[in-house]
């Protein structure tokens, strides 16, 4: 393979070299229906010399190539030393232009410009313009994390007649891949006992905070998420469990079937006074999931949370906000109650339908927002008046699966002293929780008949008292599925459903039916068992 190193220069053994085969783990190829695309690895196996010439010709010709074996892995802004070089850029799609065409020789080719921003929180992130041609157009959406391989070129722009010509470095893409999270292959070693597993995982979550097991468990459950209620409309399942792609399905059928999907993500709101640990929990949660976006209600706008259409160089482009950038991850919003009325209204669609619709300047586009929203709100009243003091509308409150009060969860002096003596490195705990979540969230789960009965009876009791909406029932099901995944099981049992009932009994958005709180009984196996038995007897009297 020495020839592959020579084709890009002699610095191929550097740590920044990227080796990316099409079947590489952690990378999912975007669909390619261009029959004229040239697979570099296949060409190398047939004729190495011709494959090397194809790599070199990338600088001078616009060829549809795929499965590129190597490239310089650089940050999101190249320099003069990268000119005419094949490089790889990794970042978030920040802007997406409209579809156009341009002349190359005597041929017209489809053309689209996007802007990629590097994923860096240490300093102000930089961006680069990427040119997509032919089948690469519309291969990504604003907010998606992608890796683009292409050739660095100079892009000339003339803003007005008689003005100086401006230029910038740009990337002519030859391959676009979508980034997926790569987890460790080694299984997570946890105790077999369900109670011991629960306590160990909770104690590893935000270890700098003593106690608060109820809030930590709620964050874990919401981060894992539930089970999708409907499958891909293009896939048909047979009685024997095998699947086959449907041969005849119209676009209209696919649209209506896709609308029937319920959201998988669970949202949670943390409510407490100043110094109750809200920001610490948010910061730790952002370390356990990728992607994770953090913002505050004081410094963000409606467009900053959702998306906006901007005009640049006489062309409209889409810029995603914090929630679309957190697609398939989490979005942490501190000072949630500081959001303005317009900003609160703008995230209703993103929280329930898991999409954001943009209709402006002739652009009609839907961005995915399949993320968990973790909000933190501060109040200065008594705990029983905490929720009304936030002045959040009922439609917004109903979209939160859990609203946890932190004022009653503060640890005792003894627990704080023990925590200070036996400190656990927070980075190690974050890695453990991250790997656990990524492995457990993929487990498919189903509801047992016993769990369905518990969920139904509890919903009817809450309906009689508070006239809650159907969203409360959907939230209960999602939380049960997520808790079952967290336990590493595939069937929601009666105990799992009762645990979620106990957790909901402590939530501020549901009426408390029993004196128990999860934080008060989870420290003892006997107390927890007695509380669950009492709740079961009340829900299902013999």
Other CB atoms within 10 A of residue 491 CB: 12
The top-level CATH class assigned to 2-179 is mainly beta
Other CB atoms within 10 A of residue 448 CB: 16
Is 239's pLDDT higher than 50? no
| Inter-residue contact 13 to 5 (CB < 8 Å) | yes
DSSP string, 439-485: HHTT---EE-HHHHHHHHHHHHHHHHHH---HHHHHHHHHHHHHHHH
Q: What is the pTM of this model?
A: 0.72
Residue-wise pLDDT tens digits, 435-487: 999 889 889 999 999 999 999 999 999 998 887 888 899 999 999 999 999 98
Identify which of 377, 374, 384 has the alpha carbon closest to the alpha carbon of residue 408. 384
| Inter-residue contact 507 to 271 (CB < 8 Å) | no
472 vs 420: which has the higher pLDDT: 472
Going 208 to 213 to 215 to 220, the CA torsion angle's sign is positive
Residue-wise pLDDT tens digits, 101-118: 776 667 777 888 888 887
Please give the pLDDT value at position 456: 93
- Enumerate residues 6+ apart whose C-beta is below 8 A from 321: 300, 303, 304, 305, 306, 307, 308
DSSP string, 44-89: HHH-HHHHHHHHHHTTTS---EE---EEEEE-SS--GGGTT-EEEE
Upper half-sphere CA count for residue 372 (Cβ side, 13 Å) = 33
Q: Is 97 in a helix, a strand, or coil?
A: strand
d(CA 485, CA 439) in angstroms, rounded, equals 9
CATH topology of domain 194-231+251-539: Rossmann fold (3.40.50)
Identify which of 532, 484, 464 has the alpha carbon closest to the alpha carbon of residue 540. 532
d(CA 134, CA 107) in angstroms, rounded, equals 12
Is 249's pLDDT higher than 50? no
Q: Which two tokens stand for residue 516?
A: 């128990």
d(CA 315, CA 116) in angstroms, rounded, equals 17
d(CA 472, CA 463) in angstroms, rounded, equals 9
How far lies 506's CA from each of 218, 231, 472, in Å?
10, 33, 14
Q: How far is CA 292 from the centre of its chain?
A: 7
Is 164's pLDDT higher than 80? no
**DSSP β-bridge partners for residue 147:** 90, 177
Is 488's pLDDT higher than 60? yes
Please give the pLDDT value at position 65: 64
Phi–psi pair at 251, nearest 5 degrees? -65, -35
Domain chopping of the chain, boundaries: 2-179, 194-231+251-539
H or E element: which one contains 357? strand 355-360
Residue-wise pLDDT tens digits, 18-40: 333 333 333 343 443 444 567 76
* Segment 230-246 mean pLDDT: 40
| Inter-residue contact 50 to 35 (CB < 8 Å) | no
- % of the chain surpassing 70 pLDDT: 73
Identify which of 312, 541, 289 has the alpha carbon closest to the alpha carbon of residue 433. 289
* Segment 282-289 mean pLDDT: 91
Residue-wise pLDDT tens digits, 297-349: 888 888 889 888 887 767 777 888 899 988 889 999 999 988 888 888 889 99
Is 73's pLDDT higher than 50? yes
Phi–psi pair at 38, nearest 5 degrees? -105, 120
| Inter-residue contact 209 to 280 (CB < 8 Å) | yes
| Inter-residue contact 272 to 405 (CB < 8 Å) | yes
H or E element: which one contains 102? strand 100-104
């Amino acid at each position: 393979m020495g020839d592959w190193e020579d084709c890009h220069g002699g610095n191929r053994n550097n740590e920044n070299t990227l080796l990316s085969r099409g079947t590489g783990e952690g990378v999912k190829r975007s669909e390619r229906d261009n029959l004229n695309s040239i697979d570099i690895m296949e060409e190398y196996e047939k004729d190495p010399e011709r494959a090397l010439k194809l790599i070199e010709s990338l600088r001078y010709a616009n060829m549809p190539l795929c499965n590129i074996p190597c490239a310089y892995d650089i940050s999101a802004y190249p320099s003069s030393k990268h000119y005419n070089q094949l490089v790889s850029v990794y970042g978030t799609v920040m802007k997406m232009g409209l579809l156009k065409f341009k002349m190359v020789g005597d041929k017209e080719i489809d053309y689209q410009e996007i802007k990629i921003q590097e994923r860096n929180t240490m300093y102000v992130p930089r961006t680069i313009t990427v040119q997509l041609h032919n089948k690469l157009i519309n291969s990504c959406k604003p907010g998606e994390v992608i890796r683009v391989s292409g050739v660095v070129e100079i892009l000339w722009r003339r803003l007005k007649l008689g003005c100086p010509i401006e230029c910038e470095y740009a990337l002519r893409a030859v391959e676009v891949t979508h980034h997926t999270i790569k987890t460790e292959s080694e299984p997570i070693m946890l105790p077999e006992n369900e109670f011991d597993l629960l306590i160990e995982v909770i104690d590893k979550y935000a270890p700098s905070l003593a106690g608060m097991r109820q809030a930590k468990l709620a964050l874990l459950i919401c981060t894992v998420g539930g089970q999708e209620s409907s499958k891909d409309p293009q896939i048909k399942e047979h009685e024997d469990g095998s699947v086959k792609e449907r041969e005849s399905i119209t676009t209209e059928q696919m649209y209506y079937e896709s609308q029937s999907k319920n959201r998988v993500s669970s949202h949670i709101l943390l409510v407490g006074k100043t110094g109750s640990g809200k920001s610490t929990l948010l910061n730790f949660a952002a370390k356990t999931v990728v992607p994770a976006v953090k913002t505050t209600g004081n410094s963000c706008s409606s467009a900053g949370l959702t998306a906006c259409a901007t005009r640049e160089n006489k062309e409209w482009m889409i810029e995603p906000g914090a929630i679309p950038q957190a697609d398939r991850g989490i979005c942490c919003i501190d000072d949630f109650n500081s959001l303005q009325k317009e900003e609160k209204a703008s995230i209703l669609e993103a929280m329930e339908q898991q999409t954001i619709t943009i209709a402006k300047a002739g652009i009609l586009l839907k961005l995915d927002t399949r993320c968990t929203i973790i909000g933190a709100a501060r109040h200065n009243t008594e705990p029983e008046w905490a929720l009304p003091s936030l002045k959040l509308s009922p439609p917004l409150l109903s979209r939160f699966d859990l609203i946890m009060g932190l004022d009653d969860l503060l640890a005792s002096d003894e627990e704080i002293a023990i925590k200070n003596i036996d400190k656990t490195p927070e980075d190690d705990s974050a890695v453990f929780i991250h790997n656990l979540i990524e492995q457990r969230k993929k487990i498919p789960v189903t509801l047992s008949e016993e769990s369905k009965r518990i969920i139904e009876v509890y919903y009817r009791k809450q309906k009689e008292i508070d006239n809650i909406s159907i969203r409360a029932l959907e939230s209960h099901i999602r939380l049960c599925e997520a808790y079952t995944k967290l336990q590493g099981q595939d069937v929601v049992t009666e105990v799992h459903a009762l645990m979620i009932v106990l957790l909901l009994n402590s939530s501020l958005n549901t009426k408390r039916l029993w004196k128990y709180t999860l934080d008060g009984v989870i420290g003892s196996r006997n107390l927890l068992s007695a509380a669950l038995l009492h709740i079961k007897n009340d829900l299902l009297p013999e």
